[in-house]
Amino acid sequence: MNLLQSALHSAQRRARNLPQRTAILSATGALALGLLLSLGAATFVSAAPKTVSTANTGTCAGNLQCVIQFGDARIQDRLTALNALSGKSNTQFQAGHITSDQNNQIQGDVTTNQDDLNTLKTKLDAETDITVARADVHNIYYQYRIFAIVLPRDYRELANDVMAHAKDRLKDGESTIQNAINGAPTSEQAQLNQLFGDYKTQVANAESQLDAAQELFPQLTPQNFDSNPASVETALSNIRNDQRTAHGDLKLAVSDLHQIRKLLDSGKGTPVPGSTPSGS
Amino acid sequence: MTLHTSTGRRASGYANAQRSVRSHVIWAVAIVATGLLLALAGCGGGARHQGQGNSGVTQQQNGGGSTSSTNNGSSANSNPAAVQGVDSLDQQSQNDAQSVDGTYNDANVGYSSQDTEQHP
């Protein structure tokens, strides 16, 4: 009898706990499934090629005009940024810090991209299909790579050109400095020669760094960025490091020169009759 | 009296002769001194012409027509034109350095955030 009652209680307990267990199991299953789905989705997003989103899930939902206005604003961001680059390059050219060829190369790149973006804007503004309009917006990012490649590359090129100009001037002045040191009082020549030795070393180092950077620029294209972004990022990183070092070298050379000048000026004294201009 | 006078005359003639000799000696010394001075000046000029001047400077003609001076102990720079060239180079380089800093800073601006695609 007791045995029968015990078996009955046990069955009742199982019967009472059954919904609870089912609920726990269901919740656990749902949680696991959710995790799996989210992991799968994340994997898909990262591995999938960057394709245009055509679904009406963006901020504009199904509003075509909203998509067009959004795209126009992104195009304008790029046109403004390209204009700024153009102005800075012209400023350096007018100051004589870059050559006309160097300026023309940047201006040409700016004009080409501005023309392409304006063509895209005309197309986008005329779209009647929101899916096609979204594809146009996608191309603003992925076809021209203005912020990813064009501006970083062109600003780096401008910096390289300006640094190369500064380096050339310092290098060309070496014979003048040497002549001035030769004419300095003997008591000052040791210090002057020490500064001049470091000056020449810094100028030579800057030159090699700038040359190394210059060779990497052809790798920085939107096409390469799409086909092999890692190699483009490596090239950009190497250019960044080369320019950082060259910038430091040039600053040290300019500092050496300034100290040389101060020493020379302190011992300038009375001009020697009969001496003629030298190397200036 | 006559003798005395005669003696007086002789004495007066001797004094005149002495003055005359002195005058000639002075003139001779003056001429020799002038000659020596002229000779010394000539030597100094010749030495400078050969490259060694009074200021302790040696000058050499460079191939390009410019002159490189070597200071042999003077407290003044023997090539002020080169010093002026260094002054000018320093000023230009300070100007270049500002452009270098400006363009270098522009190149370091990050644009990656603006390249992240947004979906309208």
Confidence check: pLDDT of B73 > 90: no
Q: Any idea what DSSP says for residue B73? A: S
| Among A132, A167, A176, the residue to mutate for chain B (most B Cβ within 10 A) | A176
**Mean pLDDT within A254-271:** 83
Confidence check: pLDDT of A54 > 90: no
CB pairs under 8 A between A and B: 224
Cα dihedral: B37, B38, B40, B44 (round 10): 130
Q: Is the pTM of this model over 0.80?
A: no
- Per the CB < 8 A criterion, the answer to whether A245 and A163 are in contact is no
Please name the member of B71, B97, B115 whose beta carbon is closest to the beta carbon of A166. Answer: B97
Residues of chain A positioned with their CB less than 8 A from the CB of B57: 183, 272, 275
pLDDT score at B113: 83
pLDDT band at B31 (very low <50, low <70, confident <90, very high): low
Query: Which is it for the CA torsion B84, B86, B89, B93, positive or negative?
Result: negative
How many angstroms separate the CA atoms of A18 and A265, rounded?
A: 99
Per residue in A146-196, pLDDT tens? 999 999 999 999 999 999 999 999 999 999 999 999 999 999 999 999 999
Confidence check: pLDDT of B99 > 90: yes
Which residue in the block uniquely carries the two structure tokens 């209680």?
Answer: A9
Q: What is the CA radius of gyration of chain B?
A: 39
Tell me the average pLDDT of chain A.
Answer: 83
The torsion angles phi and psi of B60, rounded to 5 degrees, stand at: -125, 140
Per residue in A195-216, pLDDT tens? 999 999 999 999 999 999 999 9
Determine the 3-state secondary structure of B58 from DSSP: strand
Per residue in A213-241, pLDDT tens? 999 999 999 999 999 999 999 999 999 99
Adjacent-strand bridge partners of B58: B52, B70
**Mean pLDDT within B50-73:** 49
Please name the member of A53, A142, A278 whose beta carbon is closest to the beta carbon of B68. Answer: A278
How many angstroms separate the CA atoms of A86 and A4, rounded?
A: 95
| Among B67, B89, B91, B101, the residue to mutate for chain A (most A Cβ within 10 A) | B89
Confidence check: pLDDT of A68 > 50: yes
pLDDT score at B23: 65
How many angstroms separate the CA atoms of B80 and B78, rounded?
A: 6
Q: Any idea what DSSP says for residue A218? A: G
Select the highest-mean-pLDDT range: A39-43, A58-62, B62-66. A58-62
Per residue in A70-109, pLDDT tens? 999 999 999 999 999 999 999 999 999 999 999 999 999 9
How many angstroms separate the CA atoms of A177 and A187, rounded?
A: 17
The answer to whether B96 contacts A169, with C-beta atoms less than 8 Å apart, is yes
Confidence check: pLDDT of A2 > 50: no
Determine the 3-state secondary structure of A272 from DSSP: coil
CB atoms within 10 A of CB B64: 9
Sequence-ordered list of residues with C-beta below 8 angstroms from that of A142, at least 6 positions apart, any chain: A50, A226, B117
pLDDT score at B91: 97
Adjacent-strand bridge partners of B70: B58
| Among A83, A162, A263, the residue to mutate for chain B (most B Cβ within 10 A) | A162
How many angstroms separate the CA atoms of A148 and A98, rounded?
A: 24
The torsion angles phi and psi of A97, rounded to 5 degrees, stand at: -95, -10
